[in-house]
């Protein structure tokens, strides 16, 4: 066999080195990359970051603050994957690179502390619930804005992102009941079962989305089984560079998902959907779980696809103007783009207006808006400007993180446009649920 010249390079175990050569440096992804659009620096583009990975892998570059900075600034949005004609799996490369960075680079103390808090809080609903309890109390007393103003600068922007907690609390216990009464006729015993992963941070901050989703799925004739004890899906760690913990979470989830015997698995967060869909790839090296991981991954469906498959019908007129923001991992990871639009367009009286740059990241990107607030704010502002151009009453998306990020930016601007998750919006259209009216 002829020697592979690439294999002769002194390769450090950063990423799947061979896959770096899928990139032919054409640059067609550059204008789809949010960070490149903002900084116009090659090293903040997908191509530039692939150069960096290669130089690091070949030992031509030391892992220093500058290289880490370019990796940190990447949103992991995968807009570059959609744009790339060569099929570069950039998402997997950056996740591998981040894992290597976290194992080989000592971050400044403040940075380490921030990442530690995020990892210990957001993947654990009970801890997060305790952490936001003072905020919920302040909100009930009408002092939320005061609390935000007097909070230390380091966490002020975190607090701004937290949605109104009174509404969140109404659905926060949803995960404790499986097969919760939906208000619709109970689906038949032989109806297709959907396993609903209720998330970790989303369970606390957007429990109502799970509740709305379960009601819609029931109305569409599915039997909903909530995965009450499922841990975090691992997305947070995967994107943050802690692959080992992400794999632990993945293994626990696969066992639970397989045990309930559902035909489909869903969750309301797009990043989580993509992570679960990729369990097969994540665990391909583990013979005892690889096949199950593959099965679980292949059963992942987002809400719009599930509802579209059962042709959920909307008969009540709901006159309003709506624009649709595409969550990155749904559009670029799972390639679900038309299904949510089709559902929205099927609502009588509703006028759809296309959002300019609908698939450009809003800056939420998992915990990115907590670790990179400056870039996240620039992207949120760009998104808000585009939303304003549409004249919409509602901006709808299929990801709680995007909802928090966009809603916070609209609140800052005092704009009366309501940002809602697709589950909540459809619930409103179907039943006129007063919880989701613009003035709720």
Question: Cβ(266)–Cβ(276) under 8 Å?
Answer: no
Could you give the dihedral angle defined by the CA atoms of residues 111, 274, 177 and 420, in that order, rounded to the nearest 10 degrees? Answer: 80
Cβ closest to ligand SF4, residue 78 vs residue 208: 78
Spell out the SS3 assignment of 406-436.
HHHHHHHHCCCCEEEEHHHHHHHHHHCCHHH
Exactly one of 29, 202, 219, 407 binds ligand SF4 (CB under 6 A); which one?
29
- Cβ 29 to ligand SF4, closest distance in Å? 3
Q: In the range 50-89, which residues lie near ligand SF4 by CB under 6 A?
A: 74-80, 83-84, 86, 88
Exactly one of 28, 38, 61, 388 binds ligand SF4 (CB under 6 A); which one?
28
Order of all β-strands in the sheet with 223-226: 223-226, 193-197, 264-267
Range list of H helices, 186-262? 201-205, 207-219, 235-240, 243-260
Other C-beta atoms lying within 10 Å of the C-beta of residue 190:
7
Could you give the dihedral angle defined by the CA atoms of residues 184, 186, 188 and 189, in that order, rounded to the nearest 10 degrees? Answer: 150
- Cβ 246 to ligand SF4, closest distance in Å? 17
Question: Cβ(414)–Cβ(396) under 8 Å?
Answer: no
Cβ closest to ligand SF4, residue 94 vs residue 227: 94
Would you count residue 378 as binding ligand SF4 (CB under 6 A)?
no
Give Cβ neighbours of residue 350 (< 8 Å, ≥ 6 apart).
318, 319, 320, 321, 322, 344, 429
What are the backbone dihedrals phi and psi of residue 395, each rounded to the nearest 5 degrees, phi first? -115, 125
Would you count residue 43 as binding ligand SF4 (CB under 6 A)?
no
Would you count residue 423 as binding ligand SF4 (CB under 6 A)?
no
Number of residues that bind ligand SF4 (CB under 6 A): 26
Would you count residue 311 as binding ligand SF4 (CB under 6 A)?
no
Would you count residue 375 as binding ligand SF4 (CB under 6 A)?
no
- Cβ 30 to ligand SF4, closest distance in Å? 7
- Cβ 25 to ligand SF4, closest distance in Å? 5
Would you count residue 37 as binding ligand SF4 (CB under 6 A)?
no
- Cβ 94 to ligand SF4, closest distance in Å? 6
- Cβ 85 to ligand SF4, closest distance in Å? 6
Give me the residues that bind ligand SF4 (CB under 6 A), please: 23-29, 32-35, 46-47, 49, 74-80, 83-84, 86, 88, 90
């Amino acid at each position: 066999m002829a020697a592979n010249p690439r294999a002769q390079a002194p390769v450090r175990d950063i990423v799947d080195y061979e896959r770096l050569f899928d990139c032919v440096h054409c640059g067609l992804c550059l204008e789809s990359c949010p960070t490149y659009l903002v900084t116009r620096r090659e090293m903040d583009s997908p191509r530039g970051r692939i150069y960096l990975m290669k130089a690091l892998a070949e030992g031509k570059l030391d892992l220093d603050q500058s290289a880490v900075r370019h990796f940190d600034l990447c949103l992991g949005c995968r807009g570059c994957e959609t744009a790339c004609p060569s099929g570069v799996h950039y998402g997997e490369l950056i996740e591998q690179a981040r894992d290597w960075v976290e194992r080989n680079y000592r971050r400044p103390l403040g940075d380490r502390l921030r990442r530690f808090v995020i990892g210990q809080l957001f993947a654990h609903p009970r801890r997060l619930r305790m952490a936001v309890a003072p905020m919920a109390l302040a909100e009930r007393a009408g002092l939320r804005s005061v609390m935000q103003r007097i909070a230390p600068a380091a966490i002020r922007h975190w607090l701004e992102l937290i949605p109104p907690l009174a509404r969140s609390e109404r659905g926060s216990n949803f995960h404790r009941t499986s097969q919760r009464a939906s208000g619709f006729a109970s689906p038949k015993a032989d109806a297709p079962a959907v396993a609903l992963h209720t998330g970790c941070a989303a369970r606390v901050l957007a429990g109502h989305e799970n509740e709305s989703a379960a009601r819609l799925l029931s109305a569409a004739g599915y039997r909903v089984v909530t995965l009450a004890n499922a841990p975090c899906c691992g997305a947070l760690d995967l994107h943050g560079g802690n692959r080992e913990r992400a794999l632990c979470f993945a293994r626990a989830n696969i066992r639970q998902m397989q045990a309930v015997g559902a035909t489909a698995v869903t969750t309301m967060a797009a990043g989580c959907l993509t992570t679960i869909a990729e369990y097969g790839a994540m665990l391909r090296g583990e013979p005892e779980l690889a096949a199950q991981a593959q099965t679980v991954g292949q059963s992942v469906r987002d809400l719009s696809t599930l509802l579209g498959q059962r042709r959920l019908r909307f008969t009540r007129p709901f006159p309003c103007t709506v624009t649709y923001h595409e969550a990155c991992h749904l559009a670029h990871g799972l390639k679900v783009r038309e299904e949510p639009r089709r559902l929205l367009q099927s609502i009588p009286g509703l006028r759809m207006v296309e959002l300019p740059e609908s698939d450009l990241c809003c800056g939420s990107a998992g915990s990115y808006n907590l670790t990179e607030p400056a870039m996240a704010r620039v992207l949120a502002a760009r998104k808000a400007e585009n939303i304003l151009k549409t004249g919409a009453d509602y901006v709808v998306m299929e990801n709680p993180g995007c909802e928090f990020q966009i809603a916070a930016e609209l609140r800052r601007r005092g704009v009366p446009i309501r940002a809602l998750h697709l589950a909540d919006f459809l619930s409103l259209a179907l039943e006129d649920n007063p919880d989701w009216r613009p003035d709720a």
